[in-house]
Chains A and B, each alone.
Chain A
Amino acid sequence: MTGWLDALIEGVLLGGLYALFAAGLSLIFGVMRLVNLAHGDLIVLAAFVILVVADRLGLNPFVAVVIAFPILFAIGFALQHVLLNRTLGPDLLPPLLVTFGLSIIIQNGLLQLFSADSQRLRSGAIETASIPLGAGIAVGVVPLLTLLSAIAVIVVLNLIFYRTLIGRAFRATSDDLEVAQLMGIDHRRIFATAMGLAFVVAAIAALYLGLRANFDPTIGPARLLYAFEAVIIGGLGSFWGTLAGGIILGLAQTIGARIDPEWQILSGHLAFLAVLVIRPRGLFPRALD
């Protein structure tokens, strides 16, 4: 019984990580209807940026990530402004192909720079620290922080979307691009800002990815799939839905792993397909499209 309860708690906490992976994807889709196939690789890229900053300056990853924020925001802003804005339009193929190309470029660029060796972010005692809950169950501090950070990210994203000027511009371009342009919104800057913001979220996801487990340049695509599944399970256009989607995916994986360790990933995918069959628009849909 304790084993199952353990699996449930673990699943919810793992869901926090998947929600962090998915929040950036959800943000980008919400603002500009762009589906970024390089999203997983961007998270891995962010993890390497944190790793380099932490190593070079001798900092704890939690501090290094703060220094990495402006770097990643700038990369995201530039990427959108120079490259991705050119791909947006009625035709689906250009954004898909360009982000697919980016995914391959990032993966192999990282492979060239850092080799295929597994890396890890080191933060000392906190890595192994846990809080006992009684009845033989303990919760790791890092997984707990992951879930809390995911909730915090979603609260902040909702605040930005519904309480700030830039958020109003995000919603305006999302609702009707042409009218937003007529109102004097420079949509290309808005999109670039949104991508910069998504990169900052990706950096937070990358921090916990690197603290919880080893990473190497090739693991990006699998993270993209988890992020995508969380977004679809939760329903398009709702950040809270994305969190719920992440948690459902995390639960499906840990429950599957509990039955047979080899079924972890497969049961996550199957849960996603089941949701797709039963509720094609996700559990908490908001946007039409």
Chain B
Amino acid sequence: MDGGAAATAQSYRIETAGRVSRAAVIVAFVSLLVLVLLPVFAGRNVIQDLIFLFYMLALAQCWNLLAGYAGLISVGQQAFVGLGGYLLFALTLLGGINPLLAIPLAGLVSAALALPTALIVFRLRGAYFAIGTWVVAEVYRLVFAQLKALGGGTGTSLSPSVTSAVPGIEWIKAMLDVRTPAARDIASYWLALVLMIATLALLYLILRSRRGLALGAIRDHEDAAAGLGVDIVRTKLVVYVVVAAMTGMIGGLIYLQKARISPDAAFSVLDWTAYVIFMTVIGGIGTLEGPAIGAIIFYLMQRYLADFGAWYLILLGTLGIVVMLFAPKGLWGLIAERYDLTFFPTRRRLVEGKTGHDTVSISEQL
């Protein structure tokens, strides 16, 4: 400066989308259309498999937001899957509410219960938070096992009148010329698709927002983020409650589709947390693309290897450990690093270029 060097003003703009991601928008739109229309020409097995894939992916994205972005490593998300499932059963069986309405209500109640839960588990930090959430999930399981109105320890089933009460089932039967059970699956399929897309959209919007920037800052360096004025506890609390609401709704949908619930299954740490964590980590935690890849890999493993029982789980555990040790960013991390790809751009990049209306001008002092 005092050397008399001229300050060369150079303009930069902040970009999120790249060329690939713009192309991806078109691809995503077309695939979405195909997925919506799929029940017209796909068989019942495909539909059932995709329901499973959709809700596992939605759960994985929820956990991803929690652990990958907010640094809240929970091994107790089965608390909210089970809660959502049981709330759906309580609202429909005991309250006579239509299942389609019961799902968002289950989400609301899950969020309401997540607040006091958070006040307790947020007292634990790091790894202790993880086990604390697991204890809370056990408390929920043991409490629901006491509720005789919902079958106590052995659980209960939804009556066909409830499962058929989802609006549109008659319409599906007439339009696609299928029987009631198949029509129910198709209704669940669309619900699962909506929830999956909603989860993805929610994550994407959160991450693109101001709060998302705060989350990224927390993920990268919590102390520095606090120093820059990010309200850490508040941000984490919001994420915890939002994720609980989504997870509760997904749980409601899962058990509407299963039509049978028991405390051990609904609050299973293996089904609703271990699988979800492995999917997210194998695919790539802290990205939106990773869990999708993880979910597809998990679905294929589940389909072709689940018959091997214990060996399949040993393989899954080993794969998770190997990925964590040798490719901590997961499979998507490997691909993205190699080809510089991103389909769901949430990172802001500084790009040299002409000044436009959405650009930031930074004068660089030489």
A residues engaging B (CB < 8 A)?
A: 34-35, 37, 83, 86-87, 91-98, 100-105, 107-109, 111-112, 221, 224-225, 228-229, 232, 262, 265-266, 269-270, 272-273, 276-277, 280, 289
Contacts and interface: CB of A to CB of B under 8 A. Distances in A.
Given A86-B325, A108-B313, A280-B123, A101 B318 contact: yes
Interface in B277-335: 277-278, 281, 285, 309-311, 313-314, 316-318, 320-321, 324-325, 328
Contacts of B71: 92
Contacts of A94: 324-325, 328
Contacts of A97: 277, 281, 320-321, 324
A105 B67 CA distance: 23
Contacts of A100: 75, 274, 277, 320
Given A96-B127, A96-B130, 17 more contacts: A35-B128, A35-B130, A83-B321, A93-B281, A94-B324, A97-B321, A98-B321, A101-B324, A104-B313, A104-B316, A111-B310, A112-B310, A269-B139, A269-B142, A273-B120, A273-B139, A277-B119
B73 interface: yes
A210 B269 CA distance: 25
A63 B285 CA distance: 47
Where chain B touches its partner, the secondary structure class is: helix
A277 B122 CA distance: 10
B135 A108 contact: no
A93 B311 contact: no
Interface in B125-178: 125-128, 130-132, 134-136, 138-139, 142-143, 145-146
Contacts of A108: 309-311, 313-314, 317
B311 A87 contact: no
A98 B128 contact: no
Interface string B245-273: 00000000000000000000000011000
Given A87-B324, A98-B324, A108-B310, A276 B123 contact: yes
B9 interface: no
B131 A104 contact: no
Contact of B314 (A109, A224, A266, A276): A109
A157 B316 CA distance: 36
Given A94-B325, A270-B139, A37 B316 contact: no
Contacts of B318: 101, 105
Contact of B127 (A95, A111, A265, A272): A95
B123 A112 contact: no
B132 A105 contact: no
Given A101-B317, A266-B143, A276-B132, A92 B126 contact: yes
A219 to B, nearest CB: 13
B72 to A, nearest CB: 10
B308 to A, nearest CB: 10
Given A37-B75, A95-B127, A266 B142 contact: yes
Contacts of A221: 134, 269
Given A96-B127, A232-B124, A262 B146 contact: yes
Contacts of B127: 34-35, 92, 95-96
A283 to B, nearest CB: 14
Which 4 residue pairs spanning A and B have beta carbons closest together? A35-B127, A108-B310, A104-B317, A101-B317
A29 to B, nearest CB: 9
A97 B127 CA distance: 10
A34 B128 CA distance: 10
From B130, B131, B146, residue with most partner A Cβ within 10 Å: B131
B123 A104 contact: no
Nearest to A92: B126
A80 to B, nearest CB: 14
Nearest to A108: B310
28 contacts: A34-B127, A37-B75, A83-B325, A93-B73, A93-B328, A94-B325, A97-B277, A98-B324, A101-B318, A101-B320, A102-B321, A103-B317, A104-B270, A104-B313, A105-B321, A108-B313, A108-B314, A112-B314, A224-B131, A229-B135, A266-B143, A269-B135, A273-B135, A273-B139, A276-B120, A277-B119, A280-B124, A289-B125
Contacts of B125: 289
A93 B324 contact: yes
Contacts of B123: 276-277, 280
B120 A277 contact: yes
Contacts of A224: 131
A182 to B, nearest CB: 25
Given A96-B73, A100-B277, A35 B138 contact: no
A83 B326 CA distance: 12
Contacts of A102: 317, 321
B306 to A, nearest CB: 13
Contacts of B314: 104-105, 108-109, 112
Contact of A101 (B131, B269, B321): B321
A225 B131 contact: yes
B129 to A, nearest CB: 9
